[in-house]
Amino acid sequence: MNDQPKRAFQVDLSGQAAIVTGASRGIGRAVALALAAAGAKVACVARSVDKLAETVEAIRASGGTAEAFACDVTHAESVQQVVDAVVEKWDKLQILVNNAGITRDTLIPRMSDDDWDSVINTNLRGSFLFMRAVTRPMMQGRYGRIINIASVSALTGNAGQANYAASKAGVIGMTRVVAKELASRKVTVNAVAPGFIKTEMTDALGPVVLDEVKKRIPVKRVGEAEEIAAGVLFLASEAASYITGQVLVIDGGLCA
């Protein structure tokens, strides 16, 4: 595995501190690596510290700064403890990337209460809790970048994903509201909506389904996690200071 993120453009985040949830694999891992390569100190968050070891080690091996934090993103107290620990450790917090998410796909007649609740709680409640927790240090510092990972499923719908699409649509709605609430404090809030990205989640679809998926995508391939990380990196940069309340769709033209 190549641990060096692609650097198509230069972003300087030196001296900034970031939190990335769901940083143990896939998009979250790629985002953590990209932010660290740009100079940010990165707090990598997942349910288990052990699962974060590879991400943290990769960042440190490249000369970056990273720490692992275990957290259940659905628990308000745990979320607040992580934010407080990051601020205490690095005396600042400028970037939050809400990436932690799960799926429990099934058609609506078979969707259980637990299928619904677990996805909504992790994807939507988890994003809300972290956004709420970081607003105080960001407002006090009069600077911040909040980037929420949504999904094209929230924009187009996808059979078998009523819970997932609802959670991500909620993330987009929340993004737009909080962007308006925090804009005067120079805190921007945006969302990135990935299409089909090569992760463990899409690998589980199998080659036959993936081949059909690729036929629907104008660029005829699934995306790479590093391509989502590049979008996040831009929104976290000073270059995006006049962009807030927006949804950056990165899907190879699927929604075009």
What are the tens digits of pLDDT across the range 8-51? 578 999 999 999 999 999 999 999 999 999 999 999 999 999 99
Q: What mean pLDDT value characterizes the chain? A: 94
Neighbours of 251 (CB within 10 A): 22
Which amino acid does the sequence have at 52?
Answer: L
pLDDT of residue 2: 52
Average pLDDT of span 83-94 = 97
Pick from 40, 9, 46: which is nearest to 26 by CA? Answer: 46
Name the DSSP letter for residue 122: I
| Catalytic sites, residue numbers | 164
Q: Which pLDDT score is estimated for 218?
A: 93
Per DSSP bridges, beta strands 65-70 and 41-46 are parallel
Report whether 176 contacts 232 (CB < 8 A).
no
Q: What is the pLDDT of residue 36?
A: 98
* CA dihedral for 94, 6, 122, 166, sign (positive or negative): positive
- Tell the residue number behind the tokens 């501190």, with chain if given: 17
Q: Determine the average pLDDT of the residues in 65-88.
A: 98
Residue with the larger pLDDT of the pair 247 and 5? 247
Percent of the chain scoring above 70 in pLDDT: 97
pLDDT at 1 over 50: no
Domains in the chain: boundaries:
17-250
For CA atoms 128, 141, 233, 59, the dihedral sign is negative
User: Which amino acid, 83?
Assistant: V
Q: Is 17-250 a domain of CATH 3.30.70.260?
A: no
Cα 98 to the center of its chain, rounded Å: 4
CB 11 within 8 A of CB 38: yes
How far is 92 from 94, CA to CA, in rounded Å? Answer: 7
Provide the CA 247 distance to its chain's centre, in angstroms: 13
- β-pairing verdict for 17-21 and 95-98: parallel
Q: pLDDT tens-digit profile of 201-220? A: 777 778 888 888 899 999 99
What are 184-204's pLDDT values in tens digits?
999 999 999 999 999 877 777
pLDDT at 110: 97
How confident is the model over 122-150, as pLDDT tens digits?
A: 999 999 999 999 999 999 999 999 999 99
64 close to 38: Cβ distance less than 8 angstroms: no
CA contacts within 13 A on the Cβ side of 244: 20
